[in-house]
């Protein structure tokens, strides 16, 4: 590296007419300086090239940067120079005596930073961005030729085996040395036969996290540029991608499958041939091996340099990750991802082992055999199989390629190995392994064995593999079913499902996540996907009791068998349920209307108010959601649900400020003033001859992220609306029914009693149920001008579902659990807020909590995009959580009320990790 002082750098810059301060930047080959103008803006990057570079090489690099820029990438193109300057103490007058000379030029500075930082997580979106940059660059350089490209570089993957062999001796750890050499040789044996077919072109050669620059918007990075063309050469085109994806592996949480978004993105721009796809992973292994041996060589030269020793650790980790999955499996996975092949190898048909009468055991998420959490019981597979043998079957077989829920675990941050690469067999008359035909690889002994069919030369294949890698593993095995006289495994239709959904749904009917898991089972606070991954469910407030509660299922099934009709018939359950519901509410709330949903309940509540008061207007608060029917939608003001909500409310709806004490007009202790404003608004309406029929609000602000209303808010507003003959409606659909822990109803927190209460969601634990509860007097007035009948509202089945839910909430102490576990979780989240400045506040009570993310705790700028990215990363870590509020910057934490401390810990730990490593 040329030795250039800061003063010299500033002098060189001055020769380009730049008055700047030079700040040294780290580099391995050149001397680089950031040139800062007096006003603080950056004039460019001064690069004093390593004298080892020829003028032709530098010219080639600069011309390549121009190509990249012309192709739309941000690139470090030349602004001044190059000129020859003296370095290493050489004379300034240009005479050849003493010192040496180097080429200096000023390159365009690209703000935004790079992807560097091994401790940082790279999201699939960012990894895809890296692949896009590599692809764009590959396209831009595909026709680029220059005499300066004719060079031999240590980093050129064509020479990688030679480099590893030559430098392996520097690896001090013998075990690692042997591993690196063996892995490189094995990988090279996959590259070599195809080497002649691999297309060549000019490559940047170092499209890594260190050299890819990003645009930063809303706290999220998007790769869009490239620096440092110092390794520019002519080599295999696919090497550009191999180098890029290898750099992903050193990042926090990365594993081999993390690179796939980059591979897909590259392929979308610059189609990979099947040969290129086949050598891609072996080249990743080669690159990782080269990095390890080169790092060790550097460390040998520069012993004691902490930077070099630190880098060694990263390179070792990267190598471990690159070799953590066999290269042929990764190749199968990549081919299958790109639609270039992969998939299970074919087996010639023909039965080689007649099992006799065989039962096939379904162990998937959709199997009836795993109901009621049975999948969590150890030994379930054996018990099920033995029961079938006892019924007289000769054999019991599991399914090839099936994702087994029985192999899954709950509260796992990483997907467990669930996908079967063979078949498990239980035989009534056990065979010894030697009695099985040679075609089958047999594991185990006795009455349960695992049989598989491996492709020739395939690596050792575990009986179960993780779903992310299943396509890769399945490409090195074959389905043994036909050899055993069983039907071949069916192909998964999971991918088609989303397309079919989109074809029959309207665009307005959204789904969670861009690429959602297919969820087909729930149990307590867990949701199971068809790939066997089980997620912690932090959003399903409807299933208060937990998913698939056996008591609800049994009660509903029994009632369905017995009677289901409408509430004009005389039967007990509707009466009992109405009594129970009214009994949970204070006087005078004693009259119950049963409907099927929250929207219906709100709609009916509004109609009751209009009819009972004879008034025409309604006051609602901002940032609220109350339903989709005409009237409930009219009072829904949330712009997150409907961007035009505020400008399209009908004239009878009047909106007052959201009484948000965290952000908004009044904050903290000032928040009591919201009540005064709302009271004034109601008074003004009345004065204008339009006294409202009702004031409608959530009594605890659920839609804003679980915030209590300011003290005395409802007391003041209810009093004012009543003073003008209107009614107070509390929408308890989200926050009521015990979720808040300390109160069964949200209005209790405010110390008020509404005139009308709407309930839904939790009432049926997922069975559609809603209710309006009001006083006898108000209901009586509705009789005079309204009508009510619901075909299924309050049906025997609905009523039984509702009664059972109330029984279980009581018997399982769920409200108390919400207080206990919710309190614990809130404490943990508040502790996280001390360390992570993105957390602006933790709102809520019981198991209705909100973590609000802000970019700045003073200005409270909502971290909307960050919140969406955090939710995506949480899904990767096994947690289902979604944003809420008009700014979509609050994690709405409203899990089933059976959540336990272990679940709360998993959530808090995952969030801590995401906020530490990035998203």
Spatial CB neighbours of 604, under 8 Å, sequence gap ≥ 6:
593, 595, 758, 772, 788
302: number of Cβ within 10 Å = 11
Which of 148, 225, 253, 598: binder of ligand PMP (CB under 6 A)? 598
CB of 612 to ligand PMP, least distance (A): 20
Q: What is the per-residue binding string for ligand PMP in 469-508, x denoting contact by CB under 6 A?
A: ----------------------------------------
Exposure of 182 in the CB half-sphere (CA atoms within 13 A): 9
> Which range, of 36-44, 370-378, 448-456, 593-601, touches ligand PMP by CB under 6 A?
593-601
- The residue among 127 and 631 lying less far from ligand PMP, judged by its C-beta, is 631
* Residues within window 558-587 making contact with ligand PMP, judged by CB under 6 A: none
| 710 three-state secondary structure | coil
146 close to 67: Cβ distance less than 8 angstroms: no
Distances in Å between the Cα of 647 and the Cα atoms of 644, 678, 688, 888 are: 6, 19, 21, 19
- The residue among 295 and 702 lying less far from ligand PMP, judged by its C-beta, is 702
- The residue among 140 and 806 lying less far from ligand PMP, judged by its C-beta, is 806
Give the alpha-carbon dihedral of 140, 142, 146, 149, to 10 degrees.
100
Reference 492, options 438, 538, 531, 460; nearest CA is 531
- The residue among 114 and 599 lying less far from ligand PMP, judged by its C-beta, is 599
> Which range, of 45-53, 123-131, 484-492, 594-602, touches ligand PMP by CB under 6 A?
594-602
- The residue among 469 and 593 lying less far from ligand PMP, judged by its C-beta, is 593
CB of 714 to ligand PMP, least distance (A): 15
* Residues within window 760-799 making contact with ligand PMP, judged by CB under 6 A: 760-761
Which of 110, 589, 602, 716: binder of ligand PMP (CB under 6 A)? 602
Which of 114, 597, 775, 804: binder of ligand PMP (CB under 6 A)? 597
* Residues within window 702-761 making contact with ligand PMP, judged by CB under 6 A: 702, 731, 733-734, 760-761
- The residue among 276 and 698 lying less far from ligand PMP, judged by its C-beta, is 698
- The residue among 246 and 734 lying less far from ligand PMP, judged by its C-beta, is 734
* Residues within window 615-634 making contact with ligand PMP, judged by CB under 6 A: 625-627
> Can you tell me the distance from the alpha carbon of 810 to that of 584, in angstroms, rounded to the nearest whole number?
12
258 close to 321: Cβ distance less than 8 angstroms: no
Q: How many residues does the chain have?
A: 919
CB of 595 to ligand PMP, least distance (A): 9
Size of the site for ligand PMP (CB under 6 A): 14
CB of 280 to ligand PMP, least distance (A): 46
Reference 71, options 139, 122, 167; nearest CA is 139
CB of 700 to ligand PMP, least distance (A): 10
435: number of Cβ within 10 Å = 9
CB of 508 to ligand PMP, least distance (A): 14
- The residue among 232 and 621 lying less far from ligand PMP, judged by its C-beta, is 621
| 326 three-state secondary structure | coil
CB of 627 to ligand PMP, least distance (A): 4
> Can you tell me the distance from the alpha carbon of 248 to that of 229, in angstroms, rounded to the nearest whole number?
19
How many angstroms from the chain centroid is the CA of residue 496? 21
- The residue among 163 and 733 lying less far from ligand PMP, judged by its C-beta, is 733
- Nearest residue by C-beta to ligand PMP? 598
Reference 869, options 72, 130, 118, 120; nearest CA is 120
Beta sheet of 890-893, edge-to-edge order: 839-845, 848-853, 890-893, 882-884
Q: What is the per-residue binding string for ligand PMP in 641-680, x denoting contact by CB under 6 A?
A: ----------------------------------------
- The residue among 411 and 760 lying less far from ligand PMP, judged by its C-beta, is 760
Burial group, residue 511, by CB count within 10 angstroms (0-12, 13-18, 19+): exposed
- The residue among 103 and 595 lying less far from ligand PMP, judged by its C-beta, is 595
CB of 692 to ligand PMP, least distance (A): 19
- The residue among 134 and 849 lying less far from ligand PMP, judged by its C-beta, is 849
The alpha-helical segments, DSSP class H, found in 145-196 are: 160-167, 174-195
> Can you tell me the distance from the alpha carbon of 468 to that of 418, in angstroms, rounded to the nearest whole number?
10
> Can you tell me the distance from the alpha carbon of 107 to that of 868, in angstroms, rounded to the nearest whole number?
36
Spatial CB neighbours of 116, under 8 Å, sequence gap ≥ 6:
209, 210
Which of 698, 720, 755, 876: binder of ligand PMP (CB under 6 A)? 698
Binding-site ranges for ligand PMP (CB under 6 A): 597-599, 602, 625-627, 698, 702, 731, 733-734, 760-761
């Amino acid at each position: 590296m040329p030795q250039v002082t800061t003063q010299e750098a500033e002098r060189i810059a001055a020769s380009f007419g730049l008055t700047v301060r030079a700040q040294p930047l780290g580099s391995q080959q050149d001397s680089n300086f950031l040139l800062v103008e007096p006003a603080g803006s950056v004039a460019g990057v001064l690069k004093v090239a390593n004298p080892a570079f020829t003028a032709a090489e530098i010219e080639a690099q600069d011309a390549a940067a121009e190509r990249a820029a012309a192709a739309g990438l941000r690139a470090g193109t030349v602004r001044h120079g190059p000129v020859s300057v003296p370095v290493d103490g050489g004379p300034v007058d240009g005479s050849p005596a003493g010192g040496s000379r180097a080429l200096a030029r000023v390159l365009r500075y690209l703000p935004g930073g790079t992807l560097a930082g091994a401790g940082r997580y790279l999201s699939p979106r960012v990894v895809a961005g890296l692949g896009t940059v590599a692809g764009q660059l590959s396209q831009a350089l595909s026709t680029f030729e220059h005499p300066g490209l004719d060079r031999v570089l240590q980093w050129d993957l064509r020479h990688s085996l030679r480099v590893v062999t030559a430098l392996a001796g520097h690896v001090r750890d013998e075990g690692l040395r042997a591993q690196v050499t063996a892995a490189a040789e094995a990988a090279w044996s996959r590259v070599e036969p195809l080497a002649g077919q691999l297309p060549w072109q000019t490559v940047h050669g170092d499209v890594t996290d260190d050299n890819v620059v990003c645009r930063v918007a809303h706290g999220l990075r998007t790769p869009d540029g490239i620096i440092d063309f110092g390794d520019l050469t002519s080599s295999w085109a696919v090497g550009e991608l191999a180098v890029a994806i290898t750099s992903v592996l050193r990042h926090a949480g990365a594993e081999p499958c993390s690179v796939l978004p980059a591979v897909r993105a590259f392929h979308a721009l610059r189609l990979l041939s099947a040969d290129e796809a086949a050598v891609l992973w072996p080249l990743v292994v080669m690159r990782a091996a080269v990095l390890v041996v080169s790092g060790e060589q550097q460390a040998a030269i520069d012993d004691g340099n902490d930077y070099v020793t630190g880098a060694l650790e990263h390179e070792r980790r990267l190598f471990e990750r690159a070799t953590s999955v066999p290269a042929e499996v990764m190749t199968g996975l990549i081919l299958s991802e790109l639609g270039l092949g992969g998939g299970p190898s074919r087996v010639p048909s023909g039965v080689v082992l007649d099992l006799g009468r065989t039962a096939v055991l379904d162990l998937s998420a959709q199997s009836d055999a795993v109901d009621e959490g049975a999948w969590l019981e150890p030994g379930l597979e054996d018990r099920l199989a033995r029961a079938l043998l006892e019924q007289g079957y000769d054999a019991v077989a599991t399914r090839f390629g099936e994702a087994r829920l029985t192999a899954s675990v709950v509260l796992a941050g990483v997907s467990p190995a669930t996908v079967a690469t063979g078949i498990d067999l239980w035989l009534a008359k056990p065979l010894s392994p030697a009695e099985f035909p040679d075609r089958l690889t047999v594991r185990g002994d006795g009455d349960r064995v695992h049989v598989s069919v491996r492709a020739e030369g395939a690596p050792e294949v575990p009986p179960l593999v993780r779903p992310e890698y299943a396509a890769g593993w399945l490409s090195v095995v074959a389905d043994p079913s036909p050899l055993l006289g069983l039907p071949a495994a069916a192909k998964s239709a999971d991918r088609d499902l989303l397309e079919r959904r989109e074809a029959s749904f309207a665009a307005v009917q959204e789904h969670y996540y861009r690429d959602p898991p297919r969820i087909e089972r729930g149990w307590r606070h867990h949701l199971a996907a068809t790939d066997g991954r089980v997620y912690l469910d932090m959003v399903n407030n409807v299933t208060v009791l937990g998913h698939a509660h056996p008591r609800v299922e049994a009660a509903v099934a029994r009632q369905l068998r017995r009677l289901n009709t409408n509430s004009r018939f005389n039967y007990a359950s509707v009466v009992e349920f109405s009594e129970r519901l009214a009994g949970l509410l204070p006087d005078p709330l004693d009259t119950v209307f049963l409907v099927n949903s929250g929207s219906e309940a709100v709609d009916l509540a509004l109609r009751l108010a209009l009819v009972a008061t004879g008034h025409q207007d309604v006051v609602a608060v901002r940032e609220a959601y109350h339903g989709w029917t005409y009237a409930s939608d009219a009072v829904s003001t949330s712009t997150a649900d409907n961007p035009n909500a505020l400008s399209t409310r009908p004239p009878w709806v009047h909106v007052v400020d959201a009484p948000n004490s965290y952000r908004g007009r009044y904050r903290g202790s000032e928040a009591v003033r919201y009540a005064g404003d709302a009271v004034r608004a109601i008074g003004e309406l009345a004065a204008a001859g339009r006294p409202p029929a009702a004031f409608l609000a959530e009594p605890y602000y659920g839609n804003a992220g679980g915030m209590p209303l300011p003290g005395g808010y409802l007391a003041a507003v209810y009093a004012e609306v009543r003073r003008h003959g209107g009614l107070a409606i509390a929408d308890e659909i989200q926050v009521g029914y015990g979720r808040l822990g300390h109160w069964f109803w949200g209005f209790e927190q405010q110390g008020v009693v509404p005139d009308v209460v709407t309930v839904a969601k939790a009432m049926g634990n997922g069975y559609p149920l809603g209710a309006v509860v009001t006083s006898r007097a108000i209901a009586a007035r509705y009789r005079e001008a309204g009508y009510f009948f619901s075909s299924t509202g309050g049906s025997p089945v609905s009523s039984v579902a509702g009664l059972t839910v109330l029984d279980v909430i009581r018997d399982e102490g769920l409200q108390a659990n919400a207080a206990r576990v919710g309190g614990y979780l809130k404490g943990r989240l508040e502790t996280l807020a001390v360390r992570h400045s993105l957390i602006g506040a933790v709102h809520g009570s019981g198991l209705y909590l909100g973590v609000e993310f802000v970019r700045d705790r003073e200005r409270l700028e909502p971290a909307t995009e960050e919140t969406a990215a955090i939710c995506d990363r949480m899904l990767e870590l096994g947690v289902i959580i979604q944003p809420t509020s008009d700014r979509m910057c609050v994690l709405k934490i409203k899990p089933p009320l059976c959540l336990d401390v272990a679940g709360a810990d998993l959530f808090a730990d995952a969030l801590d990790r995401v906020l530490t490593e990035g998203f």
